[in-house]
Amino acid sequence: MSRIIQSFLNLVFACLCVLSISVPAIAQGVDGPRATTGGAQTLEDILKRQNDQKIDESFRSEAIGSPAAAADERDQLGVLGGVADSEFWRAFRYGRLDELGDLSVSARGPAAEVVIQDSGMRWLEFREGPLATYGGYLLLGVLAILLLFLLLRGRIRIDGEKAGTTIQRFDAIERFAHWLLAGSFVLLAITGLTLLFGRMAIIPLIGHEAYAPFAIAGKWVHNNVSWAFMLGLVMVTVLWIAHNIPNKHDLKWIAVAGGLFSKGVHPPARKFNAGQKLIFWGVVVLGVSISASGLSLLFPFELPMFAPTFEKLNAFGIPGILGMEPLPETLMPHEEMQLSQIWHTIIAFVFIAMIFGHIYIGSVGMEGAFDAMGSGQVDEQWAKEHHGLWYEEVTDDTAHGADHKPAE
Amino acid sequence: MKSMIFAFLAVAVIAVAADFGLDYAGFSSQDATSGPSVRLD
């Protein structure tokens, strides 16, 4: 008899165990893969997250309660207003507090209502990881290539005998615009790299206290000198765009790589050769892009540029062509800033690498090149060798009362 | 070289003018993102 009672009690206990597991799911009306957890995350979700795989978070980002469906205050749980504590914190976590009623914050600005945004960690890891690492490698690699080129090729000399007379290559306003752009660019590059690598490379060397003034000064310079850069960019574009339209001579220049790798080769070129045109258009395109992202950063949350861009790219089906998911068309204010910062830095690295080459060829890399932007006067032999067609045009125009001066 | 020196001076002048101008126009971070209940000074 006692054995029968024992068996019966075991059966009752087993039934109670099964019921204790299934009741929450039944109570919450959840079916499908989350039935066993009552709608909460599953072991599969946890394992996916641990393996850095994406999970569909809608099961919790959507579960933020409903004030509209709230029970009467006198009813059971009515005082919660249709939103349980866990649901309130989910709304907090996913930036959806405004859906639960009027949201009021003390601070101003569109970002003030966002308290948690997990894309911030992805941005920080990318900024301090691949962005800084590969950007640094790019700059060091370009410097190494230029050094190697100098060692192998040497300085590009004027092949013929110097004429001893000079010709006006760039007038005062052109040189002013160039140096306005160049001077501001160098300051922006130095301060930008200081701010990017400060925490990673400079603070470990000199300490927080010594770095702080650099960071403050660097931020001031970067924010305010940017206006000089933008003015210089506009001036240079207006002054030189007509001279930088590609023509058939550029193909000849490109065919022999501008004679950079062989002595005595001087392909014909007008005011700007194909290499200079590449630099010019590079400066214009990268300059406009870095200015746009810079303005977006300079006026936080006021000039979002990524969500509208993603919307247009999706409309044209570009992500699909590249085998990607559609790009997000709704971004948190912080995400806009993070994407702007990443874009700004990528463009900056490419821009600086390109300008390294420009500075090299305009200074130590080529004899007589600096004079064009220094005094504005170049030796006539230099002009004949590097810009033969332009030299002919200018000397034809100025044959009567020519602007030729003896070299000083 | 005068053009270069003038351009570098212009960079400095523009930077200072931008700093004062933006502050005057109310575009400082303090003006743009804080409220009366936030004490910054």
A235 located within any domain: no
Residues with pLDDT less than 50, chain A? 1, 16-28, 401-402, 407-408
Residue A402: what pLDDT? Answer: 47
In order of A25, A31, A40, A60, the CA distances from A34 in angstroms are 8, 6, 7, 11
One domain, residues A156 and A26: no
Q: Are residue A374 and residue A271 in the same domain, yes or no?
A: yes
pLDDT of residue A21: 44
The domain total for chain A is 2
**B15 in any annotated domain:** yes
For residue A7, count CB atoms less than 10 angstroms from its CB and return exposed for 0-12, middle for 13-18, buried for 19 or more: exposed
Q: Stretch B2-31: mean pLDDT, rounded? A: 88
Flag whether pLDDT at B36 surpasses 90. no
Q: Which CATH number covers residue A281?
A: 1.20.950
Does residue B34 lie in a domain region? no
In chain B, the number of structural domains is 1
Same domain, A51 and A165: no
| ipTM of the complex model | 0.87
In this predicted structure, what is the pLDDT of residue A284?
Answer: 96
* Residue B7 counted as domain residue: yes
Which chain A positions have a beta carbon within 8 Å of B6's beta carbon? 176
Query: Is the dihedral angle over the CA atoms A40, A42, A48, A49 positive or is it negative?
Result: positive
Q: Please report whether residue B38 resides in a domain.
A: no
Q: Is residue B37 assigned to a domain?
A: no
Tens digits of residue pLDDT in A334-393: 899 999 999 999 999 999 999 999 999 999 988 888 988 998 889 888 888 888 888 888
Kindly state whether residue A270 falls inside one of the protein's structural domains.
yes
List the structure tokens of A183: 């001077």
Look up the domain containing A148 and give its range: 120-170+245-406
Nearest-angstrom CA–CA distance, A385 and A246: 20
pLDDT of residue A333: 86
B20–chain A Cβ distance below 8 A for any pair:
no
pLDDT the model gives residue A19: 44
Closest Cα of chain A to B24: distance in Å? Answer: 14
- Inter-chain CB proximity A172 and B2 less than 8 Å: yes
- Please indicate, yes or no, if residue B21 is contained in any of the structural domains: yes
State the DSSP string of A378-394: EEHHHHHHHSHHHHHHH
Question: Is the same domain home to A251 and A337?
Answer: yes
Give pLDDT, residue A266: 79
Which residues on chain B are in Cβ contact (under 8 Å) with A220?
A: 19
Asked whether residue B20 is domain-assigned, the answer is yes
Of the candidates A108, A231, A232, which has its C-beta nearest B33's C-beta?
A108
**Whole domain around residue B6: which residue ranges?**
1-26
Say if A279 falls within a structural domain: yes
**Mean pLDDT of all residues in chain B?**
83
Residue B19 covered by a domain? yes
pLDDT, residue B33, reads 66
> Given this model, what pLDDT does residue A74 score?
77
- Per the domain annotation, does A351 fall within a domain? yes
- What is the rounded CA–CA span in Å between residue A106 and residue A273? 58
Residues A36 and A131 grouped into a single domain: no
pLDDT of the residue at A408: 46
